[in-house]
Amino acid sequence: MAEENHDESLEFGDNVDMSTFEQILDMDDDEDDKEFSKGIVFGFLEQAEQTFDKMEASLASKDLQELSALGHFLKGSSATLGFVKVKDQCERIQHFGAKKDETGTGNIQDEEYCLRMISEALAEAKKTFNEVAAQMRQYYAES
Amino acid sequence: MDGSAGTASANNSSDFVRKLYKMLEDPSYASVVRWGDEGDSFVVLENEKFTKSILPKHFKHSNFASFVRQLNKYDFHKVRQNNEEGGTSPYGPNAWEFKHPEFKANNKDSLDNIRRKAPAPRKPSAMNEGEIPIQQIDLMNQQLVAQSQQLEQLSQRYAEMAMNQQMVLQEVLRVQKTVLNHEHVIQNVMTFLHSVDAKQRRDSKIMFNTGDTGQTAQLTPTSQSIAVPEDEPASPLQHASKLLNDCNAEVQFNVASMEQLHDLSHKTPGVMSTPPADQHMRNASRAPQSADSSSTLGYARLNNGELDQVVYPMGTNNGIDPMYSEHVNNIPYSLPPKELDPSDPRRQYADGRKKSTFADPGWSRQPRILLVEDDPTCRQIGGKFLYSFCCVIDSALDGLEAVNKIQEGVKYDMILMDIIMPNLDGVSACHLIRQFDRTPIIAMTSNIRSDDIQMYFQHGMDDVLPKPFTRKSLLDMLEKHLSHLKRLPPGMEPPPSATTSSIPQSSTGQSIKDDASSPAQSPAGSMGNWQSPGQYPGVSPIHTNIPNQYAQMANHSPYGTSPHTPITAHIPGRQQQPYQQPQQQPQHRRQISEMSGGVTDMNGFNKRQRVYVQPGPSMGMPGGPQ
């Protein structure tokens, strides 16, 4: 997945929604140093790692409410950058944290189940995040 | 006294009562406070001493009134001293005797039965109950008012839109009709042209000067040169051109209103408007630099432009010289698409990237936007987008900061408000701000279920921008709610654009630019205002270019002196005959003809145009003098 990143034909697979991400790239004043988008992306990477740590801690203390809030938070920024797969998992975390089902509509009583699902989603989120992070680092290193 | 007797149970009794009892057990106080003679009451003999020395020891205060109040709470009652007239208290006139049925000397157990009166606690709660409803009612009132305002707005908007729609429908019908007529006419003209054209060209370039030709021909250099007798005998051509004129007159009107509608619709739904706007902006931003700006710009207007062109052919014939069959190519209908394709992709990709950074949507002044967002990523991107739309941005990290800013009196044109934020969420912040400020507030959120949205509106939000937002959705929002900051009221725009369109192929500028490339064009491009499609500004540039054009033409033709020729242009074409030559160069023909169209504008054209221009100057009468 994280292979060829020719400057123009970005190849991030389905990790990244290109129309969204290109909007950010469009905001770069200089195509070459990509200062703006780079700052945003790397800011996000850092923010996401911190958030994952907080999620782990909240998972350990079984704080569903906090997990939901963290999920929502990271969902917003990942969505804005077009990191859709990360976004999807964050949304799951948000919903399960609020004791809702994946669609965010039905209620779930079983908190243990929610925690289990969140743990799953978090693992998936980290995995897909690591992919995107690697792609991004490569992309910005090359460009 | 069996002081120890009831200690166990004493735990149940109230602190206050036990303290009271204990105090009374102290014989040293007897002169100040003691059990009553009957042992079923107690008496404060020396009010002052009691207050100053005993109260502090046992109750940690020296306020007789609160002591009494507390007694009352436990249902002690002051024994009335004057039950019988003139009766004085057995303990002296200044004595205070208090009594409680369960408060008796030597009966510590019964202390448990002394409780705080129910009424006491009840009172405060009753108070609360009274207050809360009032607050709630206030709140509900406010909400009601807000809702009714919103309802009113909605119904107004609905009415507006309904009207608009009707108008649009009517206009569409009319346009359909006119277009049909138009097509008929054009078909007639064309068939005729085809038949006559070949012959006549061969015959000589002198041609007969049919009045219609004159009218129609003006645009084309040929026509100019050929003929201009306006009052020539009738011929199929003349007939056709008359029809055309009729059509034009009608259509001009229609188109005008169409454009207004179009603009209106921009304002209200804010949906349709943006795509063009965006393009315009891009064009505008790019134009100054790109040589082909004119062509691109021309395109922007195409929706209208197409119509315009159809409707207001240059002069009457859009640069189609009846004498030359090749001119068929100049028929406006076919042109737009051709130009569209090339320009579009270019704009999208080549320009899109970089130039889009600065896209002034055409504000009369920079809108001030408050961006309330706790997530740094969204805040930066949102801010950057806004910046690219030439807005002045302030940001707040949460609802509290936002409310503070508004409270401090900072004025904004719009507030973009995240919903879920620490300290104070966006809905609450909006609710607070609405108590004293009406700045449009847009909810920026991914929670867009209908009940969420309903809640946003209930608390005074004006709109919802779903997250993740895009540049376009953000711009839509701006244009929708800040239409009053647009540089030109949309209604006013059409005229200029129409004007441009009247020189149908200002777009031809593309070719022009190459040679003429001219400073003149850049002004056009630099017009940031999207409403003025490139064409608009293009008009004048073209004029300016004209000399250049002529110069070019001079190469092919005797036209060299051209700048002056235009003047003579509408003096039918003897002199002009020599000029026909240019047309033999097919490639340039179009531009030339157009150019000449432009030229005619400037001079001879004016006269004629006034004639039918008058109805709708706005319609972009070529208004030669610009």
Residues in contact with B251: Cβ distance below 8 Å, sequence separation at least 6, in sequence order: B175, B178, B182, B307, B310, B311, B312
Question: What is the nearest CA distance from B471 to chain A, expressed in angstroms?
Answer: 7
pLDDT, tens only, A79-101: 999 999 999 999 999 999 999 98
Per-residue pLDDT at B216: 42
C-beta separation of B429 from B442 below 8 A: no
Q: Is the pLDDT of residue B505 over 70?
A: no
Residue B121 has pLDDT above 70, yes or no: no
Q: Confidence band (pLDDT; 50, 70, 90) for B95? A: confident
Q: Which domains does chain B have, with CATH numbers?
A: 7-117 (1.10.10.10), 161-354+493-619 (no CATH), 368-485 (3.40.50.2300)
CB-nearest partner of A77 from B356, B378, B385: B378
Nearest CB to A23; choose among B354, B377, B471: B471
- Provide, rounded to the nearest whole percent, the portion of chain B with pLDDT above 70: 46
For chain B, percent helix, then strand, then coil, each to nearest 5? 65, 5, 30
Whether residue B547 is preceded by a cis peptide bond, meaning omega within 30 degrees of 0, is no
Residues A31, B354: C-beta atoms closer than 8 Å = yes
What does pLDDT average to over chain B?
64
pLDDT at B488: 62
A90 compared with B59, residue with greater pLDDT: A90
User: Closest-CA residue in chain B for A27?
Assistant: B357
CB-facing half-sphere around the CA of B518: CA atoms within 13 A: 27
Across A12-16, A116-120, B105-109, B499-503, least confident range: B499-503
Distance from CA of A65 to the nearest CA of B (A): 13
| b/e burial code for range B48-83 (CB count within 10 A of at least 16 → b) | eebbeebbeebbeeeebeebeebbebbbbeebebee
Q: Identify the band that residue A22 occupies on the pLDDT scale cut at 50, 70 and 90.
A: confident
Which of B378, B420, B470 faces A23 most closely, judged by CB atoms? B470
Give pLDDT, residue B25: 87
Q: List the single residue in B357, B380, B469 with the smallest CB-CB distance to A29.
A: B357
Cβ–Cβ contact B348 with A under 8 A: no
B480-489 average pLDDT score: 79
Name the β-bridge partners of B368.
B392
Would you state the pLDDT for residue B623? 41
Superfamily per CATH, domain A34-142: HPT domain (1.20.120.160)
Least confident of A66-75, B102-111, B493-502: B493-502
Read off the pLDDT of each residue in B239-264 and give the average, rounded to a whole number.
57
Higher pLDDT, B458 or B191: B458
Greater confidence (B620 vs B379) lies with B379
Residues whose CB falls within 8 Å of the CB of residue B282, separated by 6 or more in sequence, listed in order: B347, B351, B352, B355, B356, B359
* A100-109, B202-211, B536-545, range with greatest mean pLDDT: A100-109
353-392 of B, contacting A, C-beta below 8 A: 353-354, 356-357, 374-378, 380-381, 384-385, 388
pLDDT value of position A85? 93
Measured between CA atoms, the residue of chain B closest to residue A83 is B468
Mean per-residue pLDDT, A120-142: 91
Segment B44-73 mean pLDDT: 86
In whole angstroms, what is the distance from residue A120 CA to residue B225 CA?
A: 82
Structure-block tokens of residue A56: 């782990």
**Looking at the predicted structure, is the pLDDT value of residue B422 above 50?**
yes
The complex scores an ipTM of 0.86
Does the pLDDT at position B503 exceed 60? no
- Amino acid B218: pLDDT: 43
pLDDT at A52: 95
Amino acid at B518: S
Whole-number pLDDT of residue B504: 41
Average pLDDT over residues B326-346: 41
The shortest C-alpha distance from A123 to chain B (Å) reads 23
Listed residue (B48, B265, B29, B312) closest to B163, CA to CA? B265
